[in-house]
Amino acid sequence: MSALLRRIVVAVDASPLSLAAAQAACGLAARLAAPVEAVFVEDINVVRLVAHPYVHTLSLAAARRQSADDTLIGKALDLQQVAARRGVEAALAATGAHGAFSVRRGRVEAELLAVQRAGDLLYLGWNGRPAPGLRPRLGGVARAVIAAATAPVLLAQGGGDGPLCLWWDGDMTALDLAAALAAGRGGTVEVLAQARNRNEGTTRAAQAVAVLDQRGVRAQARAVGRPLTLLSSLGGDCLLVMPATAAVTLDDLPCSIVVAR
């Protein structure tokens, strides 16, 4: 078990990206022999809508007021929870990881911030409902959690089973996390060294590679230079470990990321 990643938490709402996050979390947990805690959060505001006599609901498909069935929201929430539980159970069974599924009720952002404080790494879907055919924009919950989280957060855009990359601007927290993930995933850490010019970047990348080597993690430089250059070197299947202070807009990132703290 990694000293850094002893407890992994994943937020599941049955959306495709959250289920992908659950799969990835279970995979890592299995390799690190760490437990997984899957959390389904019932939005308290939505829960209060159930059987609320003074609430207006509007169908997006029909653009008109919903029928008078005031139990519809409650039933939909139940189904969502069942789907989330089944997804987690399937991921646990497929990876051989062990863990538990729990349901919390409250404001989603607050609940997720609470559970991340109890874990070493929080897995979260990039977006709850991505538009078909388009790269998902960062969702509102994910944005809020990233802004306030105290523990590392992994935002999944896909499987993230490609190269493990490190956004290296000198932040050791990110490097440590990358080393821990590399130990769990195996393989090489590919360094993206942020710098003002190529020479500086090459030097910084070499520095990171050397540190990782000292920790027994294989590493190599992938790209050096300004943030835009680094971004263009990333593929959709990468998993990028980056410091919370990285000078990059999350919406521009094409792959899954881990924000280190």
Partner 1 sequence: MTQPVPAMAVCAVAAPAPLAPEQLYRVCDPASLPFASTAELPDSEEPIGQDRAVEAIRFAIGMRHRGFNLFALGPEGTGRRSLVMQYLTQAAARQPVPDDWVYVHDFDDGHRPRALRLPAGRAAPLKKDMEWLVEELAVALPAGFETEEYRNKKQVLEQEFKERQEEAFGVVGKKANEKGVALIRTPVGLALAPTRDGEVLSPDDFKQLPEADQDRFKADMEALQTELEATVKQVPQWERETRARLRELEQEVVSFAISHLMEELTDRYSDLPEVLEHLNAVAEDIADNVGDFLESDEDEGEAARPRRRSGGGDGGMRRYRVNVLVNNAECGGAPVVYEDHPTQPNLIGRVEHFAHYGALITDFNLIKAGSLHRANGGYLVLDAHKLLMNPFAWEDLKRALKAREVRIESPGQSMGLMSTVTIEPRPIPLDLKVVMIGDPMLYYLLSHHDPEFAELFKVAADFDWRMPRDETAVMGLARSVATLTRKEGLRALDRTAVARVVEHASRQVEDAEKLSTHMASLADLVREADYWAGRDNAALVTAGHVQQAIDGSTYRQDRVREHVQEEIRRGIVHIDTDGGAIGQINGLAVLELGRFAFGRPSRITARVSLGKGDVVDIEREVDLGGPLHGKGVLILTSFLAGRFGVDGPLSLEARLVFEQSYGGVDGDSASSTELYALLSALAEVPIHQGFAVTGSVDQNGNVQAIGGVNEKIEGFFDLCVARGLTGRQGVLIPATNVAHLMLRHDVVEACRQGRFAIYPISTIDQGIELLTGVPAGMRDGKGDYPPGSINRKVMARMATFHRRQEAAHPANLGGGRDNGRNGR
Closer Cβ to partner 1, 253 or 259, answer by number: 253
Q: Rounded to an integer, what distance in angstroms lies between the CA atom of residue 32 and that of residue 95?
A: 12
133 sits near partner 1 (criterion: CB under 8 A):
yes
196 sits near partner 1 (criterion: CB under 8 A):
no
- Provide, rounded to whole angstroms, the least separation between the CB of residue 209 and partner 1: 26
72 sits near partner 1 (criterion: CB under 8 A):
yes
Q: Is 47 exposed, middle or buried (0-12, 13-18, 19+ CB in 10 A)?
A: middle
68 sits near partner 1 (criterion: CB under 8 A):
no
Closer Cβ to partner 1, 5 or 108, answer by number: 108
Closer Cβ to partner 1, 104 or 261, answer by number: 104
Residue from 3, 68, 134, 228 touching partner 1 (CB under 8 A): that is 134
Q: Rounded to an integer, what distance in angstroms lies between the CA atom of residue 25 and that of residue 67?
A: 39
CA angle (233 as vertex; 232, 234 as ends), nearest 5: 95
Residue from 6, 7, 254, 261 touching partner 1 (CB under 8 A): that is 254
44 sits near partner 1 (criterion: CB under 8 A):
yes
Q: Rounded to an integer, what distance in angstroms lies between the CA atom of residue 126 and that of residue 108?
A: 15
Q: Rounded to an integer, what distance in angstroms lies between the CA atom of residue 253 and that of residue 249?
A: 7
Q: Rounded to an integer, what distance in angstroms lies between the CA atom of residue 162 and that of residue 158?
A: 10
Q: Rounded to an integer, what distance in angstroms lies between the CA atom of residue 171 and that of residue 79?
A: 43
229 sits near partner 1 (criterion: CB under 8 A):
no
110 sits near partner 1 (criterion: CB under 8 A):
no
250 sits near partner 1 (criterion: CB under 8 A):
no
66 sits near partner 1 (criterion: CB under 8 A):
yes
Instruction: Return the amino acid letter for 214.
Output: Q
Instruction: Return the amino acid letter for 150.
Output: T
- Contacts with partner 1, residue ranges (CB under 8 A): 43-46, 48-49, 51-61, 63-66, 72-73, 76-77, 79-80, 107, 133-135, 137, 235-236, 254
